[in-house]
């Protein structure tokens, strides 16, 4: 079996409402569908979500990288030759989501060819994954209302709450959520590097009593001394995300002692490198969850397969991005019941593109 064609198709699906965080605003999923075909008639799909403020990629740069570099690099290869794929990708730097999407589309093909779902091919730890939902930004009452709505509708009890912009309001919001949602709720505030180290220490002390599951990226990722200071000041687990976008960065943050949880985003590291990250974290006694790039249902399914494959992904994963979108590109949208996404036994990723919707939303 050989790769015969690679496509990169940009698309835009509006969000139901704007996403606001400490470092940006998002009103639509403007992503790139990557599709790989083989001479056996199999087709693999994945998506590349550009985040220019984090990785420096754009829609146009991803399409160009796939069409000019990474796509031609895999033509003629057997999709099972993963090490050869990764070796060829090392000719270029950057472009993490472009290369990750191609590698995951190839994994989709491998699963189809082998007749097994991707999560079993990667490790087969479980067939269902608990999810964490990113709560829309707002005042305390609005955030509490959103948490209650997600709990009542989907059974979700783990909530990612954006902080890092107004420290006093952040503390008040987290207190309100804990009071109203009770002890069973898991609170995972994300500061997106919005605090300086001194403010981060003050906020962490103020919320210490609230049984916070983790706090994500309290201060700038280039401030090593500040990050170590913050980590030493609290018993709340700190999670690395923007500081841990590749294997080398993960190794560095672990050496610093700045994080005790690491978010694996398969949109930026694919399946193969994400496995390396998970194994490194396991060796260091650090747990993982699968983070989100505001993924559409395509990326959510990819993330669910990885989370289900790996025993070191012990925390609820951020697999709800498609809930924020007005529509979907898949024939069958993922479902969340009792706070879980359950994987099927369909080969590969087990998903199909709705070609009419792709035509409607493509750019």
The answer to whether 162 is a known catalytic residue is yes
Which one, of 324, 241, 242, 256, lies nearest residue 290 by Cα?
241
pLDDT at 299: 97
* Residue 63 near residue 32 (C-beta atoms within 8 A): yes
The span from the CA of 244 to the CA of 247, in Å, is: 7
Orientation angle between helical segments 82-89 and 96-114, nearest 10 degrees: 170
Query: Measured between alpha carbons, how far is 332 from 235 in angstroms, rounded to an integer?
Result: 42
Q: Is 229 a catalytic residue?
A: no
Residue 104 to residue 304: CA distance in whole angstroms: 13
3-class DSSP state of 264: strand
Residue labelled with tokens 């951020």 = 318
What string of pLDDT tens digits covers the 363 residues of the chain?
A: 999 999 999 999 999 887 766 666 788 999 999 999 999 999 999 999 998 888 899 999 999 999 999 999 999 999 999 999 999 999 999 999 999 999 999 999 999 999 999 999 999 999 999 999 999 888 999 999 999 999 999 999 999 999 999 999 999 999 999 999 999 999 999 999 999 999 999 999 999 999 999 999 999 999 999 999 999 999 999 999 999 999 999 999 999 999 999 999 999 999 999 999 999 999 999 999 999 888 999 999 999 999 999 999 999 999 999 999 999 999 999 999 999 999 999 999 999 999 999 999 999
Q: What is the pLDDT of residue 27?
A: 85
> Residues 102, 36: contact at Cβ < 8 Å?
yes
345 is catalytic: no
Q: List the beta bridge partners of residue 288.
A: 262, 313
47, 103, 217, 241: the active-site residue = 241
Q: What stretches of the chain show up as alpha helix (H) in DSSP? A: 59-65, 71-74, 82-89, 96-114, 118-122, 140-154, 167-181, 197-207, 224-232, 247-256, 266-283, 297-309, 355-361
pTM over 0.85: yes
Query: Which one of the listed residues 162, 217, 253, 324 is annotated catalytic?
Result: 162
Residue 190 and residue 162 in contact, taking contact as beta carbons nearer than 8 Å:
yes
Among residues 190, 217, 295, 318, which one is catalytic?
190
Considering only CA atoms, which of 58, 57, 122 is closest in space to residue 274?
122
Per-residue model confidence (pLDDT) at position 22: 60
**Residue of 253, 275, 293, 318 marked catalytic:** 293
The strand pairing partners of 362, in sequence order, are: 11
**Active-site entry in 57, 103, 170, 216:** 216
Active-site residue flag, 354: no
The secondary structure of 176-220 as a DSSP string is HHHHHH-TT-EEEEE-TT-S-HHHHHHHHHHHGGG--S-EE--S-
HSE of 72, CA atoms in CB hemisphere, 13 A: 8
């Amino acid at each position: 079996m050989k790769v015969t064609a690679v496509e990169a198709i940009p698309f835009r699906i509006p969000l139901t409402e704007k996403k606001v965080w400490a470092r940006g605003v998002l009103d639509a999923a403007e992503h790139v569908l990557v599709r790989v075909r083989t001479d056996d008639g199999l087709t693999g799909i994945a998506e590349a979500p550009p985040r220019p403020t984090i990785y420096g990629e754009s829609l146009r740069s991803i399409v160009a990288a796939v069409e000019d570099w990474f796509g031609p690099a895999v033509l003629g290869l057997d999709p099972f030759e993963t090490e050869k794929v990764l070796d060829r990708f090392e000719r270029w730097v950057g472009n993490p989501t472009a290369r990750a999407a191609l590698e995951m589309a190839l994994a989709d093909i491998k699963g189809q060819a082998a007749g097994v779902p991707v999560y079993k091919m990667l490790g087969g730890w479980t067939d269902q994954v608990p999810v964490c939902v990113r709560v829309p930004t707002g005042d305390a009452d609005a955030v509490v209302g959103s948490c209650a709505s997600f709990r009542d509708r989907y059974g979700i009890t783990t909530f990612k709450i954006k902080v890092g912009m107004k420290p006093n309001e952040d503390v008040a919001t987290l207190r309100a959520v804990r009071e109203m949602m009770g002890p069973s709720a898991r609170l995972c505030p994300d500061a997106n590097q919005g605090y300086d180290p001194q403010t981060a220490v003050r906020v962490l002390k103020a919320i210490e009593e609230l049984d916070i599951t983790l706090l994500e990226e309290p201060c700038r990722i280039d401030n090593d001394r500040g990050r170590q200071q913050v980590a030493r000041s609290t018993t709340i687990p700190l999670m690395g995300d923007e500081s841990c976008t590749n294997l080398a960065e993960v190794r560095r943050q672990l050496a610093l002692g700045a994080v005790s949880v690491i978010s694996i985003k398969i949109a930026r590291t694919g399946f193969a490198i994400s496995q390396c990250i998970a194994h490194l974290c396991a060796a260091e006694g650090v747990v993982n969850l699968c983070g989100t790039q505001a993924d559409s249902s395509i990326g959510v399914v990819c993330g669910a397969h990885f989370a289900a494959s790996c025993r070191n992904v012990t925390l609820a994963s951020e697999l709800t991005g498609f809930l924020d979108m007005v529509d979907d590109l898949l024939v069958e949208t993922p479902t969340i019941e009792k706070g879980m996404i359950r994987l099927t036994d369909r080969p590969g990723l087990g998903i199909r593109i709705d070609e009419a919707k792709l035509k409607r939303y493509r750019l």
